[in-house]
Amino acid sequence: MWRHCPRSCEPMRPGTVVAVHDWQSAVAGILAATVLRLPVVYHVHNTEMTMAEQPDVTDPFRLIEINQRLLARVAARVVVPTPELGRLAVAHGWRADRIDVVPHGCETGAVPADGDADDAELDHEREQARSGLRAELGLPPDAPLLVFAGRLSSVKGVPTLLHALPAIARSHPGVQLVMLGVGLAGTDQDAATDRLVTELGIGDRTHVYHRYLPQEEVRRHYLAADACVFPSRYEPFGLVSVEAMALAAPVVLGSGFSALISEDEGQGGPAALRMRGDTPDELAALVCQLLEDPAAAARLAARGRAHARQNFRWPDTITRTLGLYESVTRREPSRG
């Protein structure tokens, strides 16, 4: 890939770029920039352990934080998926002039490369998913269904969601909650979730799978939902939200999500409902708002789908990323 040159360490092949994804590869990125003097692009996907309040896993010896800071300092560019994550990094001392925002794309298959989707086919798939999943769970055909996908942790808003469910049930007695995901390995998050379900007396309306599902099954659950609820209090991006929106599912987001995902002025309203805080009462009110007005929920879902189709496509993400790499190769190699 390159030729060793003791004096300059210039790459043999013009256009060499080292792309580093997240902190696990930080040491390699730091060495590439400082020893080999190659341009490094640092893609930041998560800063939970170093920048989130009350993370699931901490960084007691600051090893992760130190590696992140060093890599951000020597990298030619730092790529983040949302403006909020960029501002958070700057607040922790990272250089704003090196940060670029490149949102992720959608992975459901509902947003094809040409931007067109067969609405009739999707509606047919939705009807099959709604009736099929309720039958599998032993639920009435008209039971309101909420779907959560993600890690079973407080960072993802699981306690907030479970505490909100009794209030939702008082207005909608037939409501059911399906939770896709597992707790973090090495923690008691799975057991803690089950304990809270028991303590709140919501075991008859809560289905915790304790496993991740294949993408096609996740898609089916999104299609079957009356609302997809992702109440994260910290979220670097949150692909689950965009995937659900792309399938025209009404979505409720936690305050940790970026406004980039929930807001789209061009659609005449929000693309998803987003919490301002982290209280069960607020979450219950937003969910009930959707369940009580199906027509409004359908309009929200339509705006969300259009927003996802227009703004979160992998071809666009790829084009922007390659353009960034190309711009970096026209600069002098990093000198650390």
Note the pTM of the prediction, 2 decimals: 0.90
Comparing 10-24, 212-226, 311-325, the range with the smallest average pLDDT is: 10-24
**pLDDT at residue 240 greater than cutoff 80:** yes
Instruction: Give residue limits of the domains in the chain.
Output: 18-105+315-329, 119-311
Q: Which residue type, as a one-letter code, is found at position 90?
A: V
Work out the average pLDDT over 264-287: 93
| Residue-level pLDDT at 264 | 81
- Strands in the chain per DSSP E: 18-21, 40-43, 77-80, 99-101, 145-149, 176-180, 206-208, 227-230, 251-253, 273-274
Fold match between domain 18-105+315-329 and domain 119-311 = yes
**What is the chain's mean pLDDT, rounded?**
91
Neighbour-count burial for 90-105, b at 16+ CB within 10 Å, e otherwise:
eeeebeeebbbebbbb
pLDDT in tens, 23-42: 899 999 999 999 999 999 99
The CATH topology of domain 119-311 is: Rossmann fold (3.40.50)
**Length, in residues, of the chain:** 336
Residue 6: pLDDT band with limits 50, 70, 90: very low
What CATH code is assigned to 18-105+315-329? 3.40.50.2000
| Residue-level pLDDT at 331 | 59
| Residue-level pLDDT at 114 | 43
pLDDT in tens, 43-65: 999 899 999 989 998 999 999 99
Task: Report residue 18 as tokens.
Answer: 């080292």
Query: Sign (positive/negative) of CA torsion 245, 247, 251, 253?
Result: negative
Work out the average pLDDT over 176-190: 96
In eight-state DSSP terms, residue 108 is: S
| Helices 215-224/119-137 angle, 10° precision | 90
pLDDT in tens, 148-179: 999 999 999 999 999 999 999 999 999 999 99
Q: pLDDT exceeding 70 applies to what percent of the chain?
A: 91
In eight-state DSSP terms, residue 248 is: T
pLDDT in tens, 121-132: 999 999 999 999
